[in-house]
Structure 1
Amino acid sequence: MEEQVYDVTIVGGGPAGMFAAFYAGLRELNAQLIESLPQLGGQVDALYPEKTILDIAGLPNIQANQMISQLQQQMQETPIDTFLGETVTDVVKDEQGFKIVTDRRTSYSKTVIIALGNGAFTPRKLAIDNVEQLENKQLFYYVTHKEDFRDRRVLIAGGGDSAVDMALMLEPIAKQVHLMHRRETFRGLEHEVSLLKQSSVTLQVPYLLKQIEKTSAGALDLTMKKMKSDEEKHLEVDDVIVNYGFTSDNKALTSWSLDFDEQRHDIVVNSDMQTSVAGVYAIGDGVIYPGKVKLIATAFGEAPTAISSVVNQIYPGKRAPIHSTSIKLSENQ
């Protein structure tokens, strides 16, 4: 029996991979999407399902889980083969294109699109003794359900976009929100920082957490040290959320039988989204090119570029549609 050979295999089921899958369906490619998690959505849905996403054109203030839900609905318009709970362990160049090996099966594909983001993420832990006993109880590294913090006194440690977003997200429901940063200024989007300064969030700057002790009443007594000073102060809260960022782990890629050009652990691509390996394309946060801005909106633009490049490679005589409205999804449209 002859093996099925896909036109394209999309590795990664986050927002970039999901939109690439939809567009592959629009272009009527024989495609598969493989995602290691048991559900679509990637890190966005797994770590920050209730985070407000601001950079999607025409969808103001949409929650991450709502965005993922709408992407899933969109994928149903032009469904492709989707495999969840599978990890791609190797991609090998062969005479048909590529052999795709997962922990469950082997398949074949003429081309590959990598949409893995920055790979697996591990939160940067709080460097304080004896905090392990508090983790996932009163010390957290991300927020999956904001209702868990209703009427609680919360301190968020961090100064980037995610920390600012968390503070603004929890402000309406928490009893009190503090945002601690080791600098006087924040690195978040200017508009969000302006909203932060207008909010009821108490800014604890420039401080670092030095110690956490649990009180007899079950609260947390925080010792905060002022930067470039011996000054310390105490603050009592119910929960601490540490948002110092994540370390990325692209072991999945390094185990493949392919050798990519990389820059600061990002895959280098050209304007067609092709990597240094012919027939392999990459999109999303894990790629780099001149002028790259790491936003979900950017990844949504990279997805149709990569799919169109795949079509041009496999079917060079096939004329691309001028725009998406020229594609007919069904007889009723």
Structure 2
Amino acid sequence: MRSARRTEAAPDHAEVQRRWRALVDERLPAAARPDWPVRLNHCFARILLDNACGGPWRASVAPPAWANMPPARLAEALALGEAVLAGRADLAELNRRSLAWRGHPRGIPAPRALREGDLLLRRRRHEDDAPFAALNADPEVMRFFPAVKSRRESVAEARALDGRFAQDGFGPWALEASGAFVGFVGCWRPLRPLPVAGDAGLVEIGWRLARGAWGRGLATRGARLALADAFGRCRLPEVVAYTAVLNTPSRRVMERLGMVQAGDFAHPALPEGHPLRPHVLYRLRAADLGGGA
């Protein structure tokens, strides 16, 4: 059940570079409002590039970024900038993430772990990389994604997900059952703007479990524990979840959590006609969580 990767034809790199320079050097500075946290072109570039990379962009790309950033990643940063201009993404929130990744966190400090009986939610460890890569390489686990992930992609995703704790004080927890790593579950802010109402302030909850952990209620139990922390310690008023319409197992977990279907949308990372493009959105308010957590 997670955000899908871009599968459409790669955009023309030279054109993306041209649009990027125009965006950060001209259009964003010209559109800067009094309530925006930055006004200068290099600040806009820092914010958008960091958010597209899931951390400080210089950690993975040699400067100058506009010339050396992989085309798809630069296109992702460009899309974020267009969303800021259109009012569909919150520049202040994007800036807060960037500063947190760069050692200026302002989120609520997170505990190292949450426990319920034999179920443990904890922060990521390096030894989780191998089992996480294995579940991401399992076609059954990834059947509602466009493709399985390589080990390199899995490690990069795990690091980016764990970085959410520094930026917000909450994020995806590694999920252990009876002492064994079985996946992850938790809350985070979507990086990609979504075509749904209230997009700028969304916090989503999601999970991904290894096949051997299915059918034991672990996703529901782990999600309830994560929600109790998000609504309690972090004071979040609401979370959402979304997945492909075809993903019946995840939709059942959402419904068991008390989430309410709140519409549907076409996932912007997937092309027209792709069977996973139709997505469904669920919402849950803190006031409606009930006693399950």
Q: Provide the TM-score with structure 2 as the length reference.
A: 0.25
Which protein is bigger by CA-based radius of gyration?
Answer: 1
Which of the pair is proportionally richer in helix? 2
Q: Provide the TM-score with structure 1 as the length reference.
A: 0.23
Which of the pair is proportionally richer in strand? 1
